[in-house]
Amino acid sequence: MKKVCENWENLFPADHVGLSIFEEFQNRASAASAEVIRVKTPSDALAAIKNLIESIQAKKIVAVNCPLQQSANLYDEFQRMGLTLYTDNAQIAEHAESADIGISGVEFGIAETGSVCQDAYSIESRLVSTLPPIHIAVLNSNNILPGIKEAFDVISQVFQHGYISFITGPSRTADIERVLTIGVHGPSRLIIIAIDQATAGGAA
């Protein structure tokens, strides 16, 4: 799977302490109508995602591979649950439009704005995060940067080719009478699963 950078965490400054600003990130993300679920371990993440799937009775899921999901054994569990899961690019291209949920990892969060940064070079990472009505973004809770400036200090080290997105809450419009309406062309729900004890070196 194509990525702008294979290991984003290596680019963070030496004195990086993301967990200490997680709360600010969470508040700003919630203010932008993202749903933030903070969990301790990968297996807690799995439980949270299972809950979600059951609550909306999802049947069809498109997901891109990422280490955090692997460590949570998501895919085995999905199969046990009897869900249809698509993970390779051709399958995702065919099914993303009709899937109930798209799952991808994101590299880091930005406390200033409540955004998550997605390395979206691969086409499948974009399809799963744009076409289904729900996007679940899996994040390492320690990977929070203070602001846009710090985010660009990181991005500018590696952005030689590819596609990078900041995602801040769900798709929205206020084009009719300035009434805020959620879910135009993109997902109507952005659910950020933030894992505190993500495996070492495992970028989301």
In sign, the C-alpha dihedral spanning 95, 101, 104, 106 is positive
CB of 53 to other proteins, least distance (A): 23
CB of 69 to other proteins, least distance (A): 21
Tokens of 14: 């030496």
Residue 198 DSSP one-character state: P
> Which helix or strand (DSSP H or E) is residue 108 part of?
strand 108-110
C-alpha to C-alpha distances, 124 to 78, 102, 199, nearest whole angstrom: 19, 10, 24
Contact indicator for 198, 40 with CB cutoff of 8 Å: no
Q: Which is nearer to other proteins, 72 or 154 (CB)?
A: 154
Residue 103 phi, psi (nearest 5): -125, 135
Q: Which is nearer to other proteins, 79 or 181 (CB)?
A: 181
- Residues in touch with other proteins (CB under 8 A): 2, 28, 31-32, 89-90, 93-94, 97, 110, 112-115, 120-123, 126-127, 130-131, 147-149, 152-153, 155-156, 159-179, 181, 183-187
Q: Which is nearer to other proteins, 74 or 127 (CB)?
A: 127
CB of 113 to other proteins, least distance (A): 4
Q: Which is nearer to other proteins, 92 or 204 (CB)?
A: 92
